[in-house]
Chain A
Amino acid sequence: MIATDAALLEQALTGAEDAFTALYRRRQGGVYRFALQMTGSSAIAEDVTQEAFLALILHGTRYDQARGTVASFLYGIARNLVLRRIDRRPWAEMEITEECAGPEDLLEDLTRRESIEHVRQAVLSLPPVFREVIVLCDLQDSSYEEAAAALDCPVGTVRSRLNRGRTMLARKLRGVAGVAGRSIECPKSL
């Protein structure tokens, strides 16, 4: 029988290292990817993952099962850490050009990998409130309820931000060839 996250956390807080290790190995990937997709920086993602689990070690007793899952709790911690770093980081560093009409022949040369990176840049260019719901719901497969718990907002807000975020993404990716045979816009470097 697989122990739940909450059970593992409870054991970890009483000093069971195995339980903490199991919980970390189960959830670190999600937290790391969330931070990576929110910031576009693997160094920041590494820091955020470490600090989020460190906070769990030090303040794990603050977790309240009635308010959401352990994953939501961790995403909530990671989100706060990410937002602090986004505030310190120059916005231009993550900004991509809104429109870039590139030549057709160059677009044809875009590999699938480059296209995906372009989608990543488009996600990174979203304002944080829309980016975080896109990352949680579309990239991390979190439910609306989990996202709402992590972001500390109502489920309805998550839904509306998700719709709006997707619309903004569609506008950014409009008219450019790319993922799955669809078109994406040309990066500025081309």
Chain B
Amino acid sequence: MSEESVIAALRALAAQDGGREAPEAVEDRLLQAFRRKQTHRKWRNGLGWSLAAAAAGLAIFFVAGSHERPKVVAPPPVPRQLVAAVPAPADVATVVPVPKQMQAVRRRLIEQPIEQPLERPIERPIERPVELQRETVTQFFPLLDVAPPFERGELLRVMVPASTMRRVGLPVNENRLADPVYADVLVGQEGLARAIRFVSYEQ
């Protein structure tokens, strides 16, 4: 059989198959997938920008905060009503008799001039309480469909509503959607929030 004959046979086959197409159901399924993708893309972009804004705000807050000295805050004034309501303490000295030995000590401390400063008590370092909370994190969930190449970035801890977890597919109790949860947002060198992970603390 010559090559021309083979080509003719193949053309006959191509002509017979010429009208064959995928069933319409395929188009329907693909359009559903397309719409899902677009919806997903929209909220992911929205979430990405919100987190980027939150991260940027947080970064500005920290940068600005590092240049300011902490202000001394005066204690809140005690309301007059409370002062009036508390009975004035009785003069303890007039009620409780001071022993003779103590009277001598009192005389020496008050009446004699101080020649040497009193020794200050030894200062002991304050023992910090042992960290009881243990941090657990989820995996990172990407926030960008197509992220530019990653060169460097920062991990910022922010607080987001629990409904954010649902957006990346994590189960959240319906009644606790508004609860704040900690999250680490990975912000790339271009300032875009690339990924998010959620943090929980366990005792």
Contact = CB atoms under 8 A, between A and B. Distances in A.
B16 interface: yes
Contact of B31 (A21, A45, A58, A170): A21
Nearest to B1: A170
A49 B12 contact: no
Contact of B8 (A36, A53, A180): A180
A109 B37 CA distance: 54
B17 interface: yes
Task: Rank and list the top 6 A-B pairs by shortest CB-CB distance, nearest first.
Answer: A170-B1, A179-B9, A32-B22, A138-B10, A49-B22, A139-B14
Nearest to B39: A15
Contacts of B11: 138
Given A116-B12, A138-B7, A20 B20 contact: no
Contacts of B6: 166, 169-170, 173
B17 A36 contact: yes
Given A116-B16, A139-B13, A166-B7, A49 B26 contact: yes
Interface residues of A, number: 49
B62 to A, nearest CB: 35
Contact of B29 (A50, A112, A166): A50
Interface string B116-151: 000000000000000000000000000001100000
Chain B interface residue number, banded: 20 to 34
A21 B17 contact: no
The CB with the most chain B CB atoms within 10 A, among A61, A134, A179, A183, is that of A179
B28 to A, nearest CB: 10
A184 interface: yes
Given A29-B21, A36-B17, A57 B30 contact: yes
A183 B1 contact: yes
Would you call the interface of chain A mostly helix, strand, loop, or mixed?
Answer: helix
A134 B10 contact: yes
Interface in B35-68: 35, 37-38, 41
Given A33-B17, A138-B10, A179-B9, A57 B33 contact: yes
Nearest to B42: A15
Nearest to B36: A57
Contact of B20 (A12, A29, A53, A115): A29
24 contacts: A12-B34, A17-B34, A20-B30, A21-B31, A28-B21, A33-B20, A49-B26, A50-B26, A50-B30, A61-B146, A112-B12, A116-B9, A116-B13, A119-B9, A119-B10, A138-B10, A139-B13, A167-B3, A169-B6, A170-B2, A170-B3, A170-B6, A180-B8, A180-B9
A184 B21 CA distance: 27
B39 to A, nearest CB: 10
The CB with the most chain A CB atoms within 10 A, among B8, B30, B145, is that of B30
B23 interface: yes
A184 B13 CA distance: 13
B27 interface: yes
B1 A173 contact: yes
B1 to A, nearest CB: 4
A170 B5 contact: yes
A10 interface: no
Nearest to B7: A138
Contacts of B1: 170-171, 173-175, 182-183
